[in-house]
């Protein structure tokens, strides 16, 4: 009986694994046409400056509207895009589209608001990356200081000479650089001093429990102190409550991003938020 059950288990797992491999394969095939068929779009999430209480920046977040109308989030398709190399075309599209959108909103209520774009390792290490950034700025006419590139700690771990030059080159262009999900990577703090990184974005996982968990609060405290002493800006991600927001403000955090400030949305929604025409801008009522 045990043997038969074992064999059934085996068959079950095989079928489940086949189904998931098939699903991935289908997803990859569908994704292959996403750029060409204009199925990708960007959602923009506000970044709010704590001293002025204003939206000063936005993060561009990729969305995929499939032909059946279903909107997929990055966690469902970015890993497949990275593994298949499709991220190169998708990431290029996102970078240029973010520049175009940001340039366009300079003529309205979002004037002065910058944009940040997530960059995958695969994209960043490509030889022509710096050239593509320059091309995107030139073609769209976006001033470099209004573009920020979000890198991850792992990209800066043991950077080759070429990567170090790339970072210096981007910085020389006037483009801003930030480290996303800060605190979750392998922390080699030496690179923070060495490289032209402008901003640290504290990972949401620390913010999530900071009001109940003193250890998470300590990590946040330390990151903010580090950023301030190194002369960098610090942004907290995933701020969902007023308690988190006031605690972060008390610690001297420069900017906040999260559902409490505003969810990712269209440029129109962002403009409404900036103009104070919608209620989601909870930061307006924040004290302290």
Binding residues (CB under 6 A) for ligand C2E: these are 45, 61-62, 73-75, 78, 91, 94, 118, 120, 150, 180-181, 204, 237-240, 258-259, 264
Closer residue to ligand C2E in complex, CB, 60/194: 60
From the list ligand C2E, Mg ion, none, partner contacted by residue 75 (C-beta under 5 to 8 A by kind): ligand C2E
270 is written with which tokens? 């962002």
Whether the CB-CB separation of 222 and 188 falls below 8 Å is answered with no
**Residue 91: contacted member of Mg ion, ligand C2E, none (CB under 5 to 8 Å, by partner type):** ligand C2E
Does position 57 bind Mg ion by CB under 5 A? no
**For residue 129, which of 152, 149, 156 has the smallest C-alpha distance?**
149
The span from the CA of 24 to the CA of 29, in Å, is 9
What is the spatial distance between Cα 17 and Cα 11, in angstroms, rounded to a whole number?
Answer: 10
Query: Can residue 92 be called a binding residue for Mg ion (CB under 5 A)?
Result: no
Among 97, 148, 153, 180, binds Mg ion (CB under 5 A): 180
CB of 182 to Mg ion, least distance (A): 8
Rule CB under 5 A: choose which of 97, 148, 150, 255 binds Mg ion: 150
Residue 173 C-beta-side C-alpha neighbours within 13 Å: 26
Q: Which does 74 bind (CB under 5 to 8 A by kind): ligand C2E, Mg ion, none?
A: ligand C2E
Nearest approach in angstroms of CB 67 to Mg ion is 27
Contact 10, 237 (CB under 8 A): no
Nearest one of 55, 34, 78 to 264, comparing CA atoms: 55
């Amino acid at each position: 009986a045990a043997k038969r059950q074992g064999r059934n288990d085996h068959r079950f797992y095989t079928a489940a694994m086949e189904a998931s491999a098939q699903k991935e394969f289908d997803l990859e095939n569908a994704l292959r046409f996403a750029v060409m068929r204009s199925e990708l779009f960007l959602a923009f999430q506000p970044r709010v400056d704590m001293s002025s209480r204003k939206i000063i920046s936005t993060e561009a977040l990729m969305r995929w509207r499939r032909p059946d109308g279903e909107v997929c989030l990055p966690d469902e398709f970015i890993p497949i895009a990275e593994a298949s190399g499709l991220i190169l075309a998708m990431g290029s599209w996102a970078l240029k589209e973010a520049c175009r959108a940001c340039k366009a909103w300079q003529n309205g209520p979002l004037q002065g608001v910058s944009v940040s774009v997530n960059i995958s390792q695969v994209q960043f290490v490509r030889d022509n990356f710096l050239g593509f950034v320059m091309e995107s700025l030139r073609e769209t006419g976006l001033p470099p200081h209004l573009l920020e590139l979000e890198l991850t700690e792992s990209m800066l771990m043991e950077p080759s000479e070429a990567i170090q030059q790339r970072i210096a080159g981007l910085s020389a262009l006037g483009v801003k650089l930030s480290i996303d999900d800060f605190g979750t990577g392998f922390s080699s703090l030496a690179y923070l001093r060495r490289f032209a990184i402008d901003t640290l974005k504290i990972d949401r996982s620390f913010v999530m429990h900071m009001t109940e968990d003193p250890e998470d609060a300590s990590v946040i405290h330390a990151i903010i102190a580090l950023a301030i002493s190194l002369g960098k800006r610090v942004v907290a991600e995933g701020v969902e409550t007023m308690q988190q927001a006031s605690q972060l403000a008390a610690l001297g955090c420069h900017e906040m991003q999260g559902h409490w400030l505003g969810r990712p949305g269209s440029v129109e929604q962002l403009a409404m938020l900036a103009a104070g025409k919608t209620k989601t801008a909870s930061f307006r009522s924040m004290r302290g």
